[in-house]
Structure 1
Amino acid sequence: MDKIKIGIVGTGFISDFHFNGFKKNPNAEVVGITRDYYGDDKSIQKQKNNLLKKSEEFNIKLFENFEEMISSNLIDALVIASINPLHYNQIKLAIDFNKPVLVEKPLLTNLDELEKIQELCNEKNFKLFPGHNFVYRKSVQLAKKVIEEGNLGEIIHSSFVSTHTIPEEHAFGWRSKKSLSFGGALMDSGHHLVYQSLFLLGKPKKIHGFVSNKVLHNMDGEDLAQISMVYPDNSIAFLMQSWTTNHSGILNGINIMGTDGSLSITDGLYFNGKKIDNDFDYKNSFVNQANAFTDFILF
């Protein structure tokens, strides 16, 4: 069987993780890269230089723009890792050309876009795969199994916490501008917490959120966000994403408490205080995600 030929859209740091994630994949290979441009002439030239650098570093074909890549017979499927507001039109074009896509979080920037894309995917039987790499860590998969097998009893309370600083290039780059990011810390890093909470606990019946701009005052959006959630079984959870400090100590991670036991996901998976899995590697989550994406296409 011929390998699925993958094109990467975007040249940010995350493109490296996607490229390396497919290296060990027996069913696919990355063969091309492209990006779209934004900003002033100086910014656009920098982006073009970065595209050339990435194509040479990866030793893959450079496509001048998304339209050239999506229409090429050299490309079977795509990884969309462009800035947030570009996702909608890029997904629509991929649907037109019937080329499956793995789309970085956030998948889209608003509910109207989501409803339209859902409708198109259902109508065309199109394969769209959200880039929720953290759920492909073995520790998270095993945690779900622990919960589903009833080992925690009735779930009482859960917390999903991630607090850290971000590089200056991110704090002052496109993520700081709402016109390009469509949000702040919650829309960006906080997405990982949101989809992991959905994966492990399902949908809440009630939510209440707070956002604040505490430290990174140059940002249009929040650098600190908290969500409180109540679930259909009346268990309670909170989710907190912060870009304000590295002094988080033991707060970071996922903690779920039940009537019969508890689990924590930090540097691995702990069940009732005993470490039962070590696989929490960020890089490896992209390998597992790439495998899941190709399986999604093939099967």
Structure 2
Amino acid sequence: MTKQGLVVVGPGLMGRKHIELIQNNPRSELAGIVTPERAVFNDIGERLNVPLFHDLETCLDSLAPSGVIISSPNEFHYDQARLCVERDVPALVEKPITSTYEDAARLADLVARRNAKLIVGHHRAHSPLMSTAKTLIEEGRLGRLVAIQGSAIFHKPPEYFEAGPWRREIGGGPILINLIHEIGIMRTLCGEISAVQAIASNAIRGFPVEDTVAINLQFRSGALGTFVLSDTGASPRSWEQTSRENPVYPTYPDEDCYSITGTQGSLDFPTMRLKSHPASETPSWHRPFVEEVIPVVRADPLERQLDNFIDVILGRGEPVVTAFDGAQNLKVADAIRRSAETSTLVALDS
């Protein structure tokens, strides 16, 4: 088996995880690392026995990698991803795809025009929980979608802000740091979002940036949604604390962070508790539900994401999360931010 040589740009926290995944995957090998000229990273290439470069262009001039994984700071994503597209080098770009929606739209357009191989690192889309829930919805087990209720409520400790003082300032709040994951989940399960309305508060911490946001959502299908986001609420109702997919966080397997409701039934997620009426039966609140827990075969979403990237490189599969998806997720997040700032309904389809 020929291994796909992959370059990792940005060996920070997420970059090191990508390196570990590459080394553990029988279909890939680490071909090189691109890192800024900082002493903390100076010996990483020697330790891993791969070439070390200080910019991506020099790396691509020197190597012929099968693909590039971009896990650098957000501000560099657009230029680095564009370079890969222009060089016809497949790329996996960590979320968000770029730092602004305008750049994301330009990059998505370039990818489409050149039919480039690019996937975006919204790894939750690769979770077996997500694919199972999406199949249930597509099969009509819930009927026509009516509503989704979601939450990402958790408490970030003081040291989180001490380690990164920028997180206290505008642009460092949970809308831009955390919400983009949830937008990807809701778009995957319920379709495109057509309008948003949000209220934000910084009453708990008093930082210039928000700490809590309440959001109303309208989907093109006609379904409606509500979502509460907070990084100062002591609650287990977030993806990290309910999905059991990241060992860094304690988890609570009896808790859910989403409830998806249709005309025939509802799904609590990610416990996968389904309460539904048979398709042959007219739903009524006087009729008891058929109750079941949908089984899910567990797998690491990040491992599955890397396998998807390798399949895309080899021409054996399509991206689970496309450049368009990455841009659309960023567009919704930006609309929510603008709605919170202006106290208005923001339409995305206008």
TM-score, normalised with respect to structure 2: 0.72
Work out which of the two has the higher radius of gyration on C-alpha atoms and give 1 or 2: 2
**1:211-290 pair list within 5 angstroms:** 211-218=200-207, 221-248=209-236, 253-266=257-270, 268-272=271-275, 274-278=292-296, 284-290=300-306
Residue 34 of structure 1: how far off its partner (Å): 2.3
Residue 138 of structure 1: how far off its partner (Å): 0.4
Residue 88 of structure 1: how far off its partner (Å): 1.2
Taking only aligned residues, the RMSD between alpha carbons, in angstroms, comes to 2.7
Q: CA contact under 8 A between 1:208 and 1:229: conserved in structure 2?
A: yes
Distance 2:116 2:109 in 1: 10
Between 145-154 and 18-27, the greater mean CA deviation after superposition: 18-27
Assess, with a 3 A threshold, how the Cα gap between structure 1 residues 21 and 163 changes in structure 2: closer, same or farther.
Answer: farther
Question: Is 1:199 matched with 2:188?
Answer: yes
1:174-222 Cα distance to aligned partner (Å, 9 max, x none): 751768xx4521222211100111111111222112333344545x533
In structure 2, stretches of 5+ residues that fail to align are 238-253, 276-290, 316-350
Assess, with a 3 A threshold, how the Cα gap between structure 1 residues 216 and 147 changes in structure 2: closer, same or farther.
Answer: same
Distance 1:158 1:125 in 2: 34
SS of equivalent to 1:91:
helix
Between 138-147 and 163-172, the greater mean CA deviation after superposition: 163-172
Q: CA contact under 8 A between 2:256 and 2:268: conserved in structure 1?
A: no
**1:19-38 pair list within 5 angstroms:** 19-36=19-36
AA at the equivalent of 2:274:
F
Between 162-171 and 77-86, the greater mean CA deviation after superposition: 162-171
- Indicate which of 273, 292, 295 corresponds to 2:308: 292
Counterpart residue number, 1:176: 167
SS of equivalent to 1:230:
strand
- Indicate which of 150, 154, 157 corresponds to 2:144: 154
SS of equivalent to 2:147:
strand
SS of equivalent to 1:106:
coil
- Indicate which of 68, 71, 87 corresponds to 1:97: 87
Counterpart residue number, 1:40: none
SS of equivalent to 1:71:
helix
Count the aligned residue pairs: 283
Counterpart residue number, 2:104: 114
Q: Percent same amino acid among aligned pairs?
A: 25
In structure 1, stretches of 5+ residues that fail to align are 38-47
Between 75-84 and 182-191, the greater mean CA deviation after superposition: 182-191
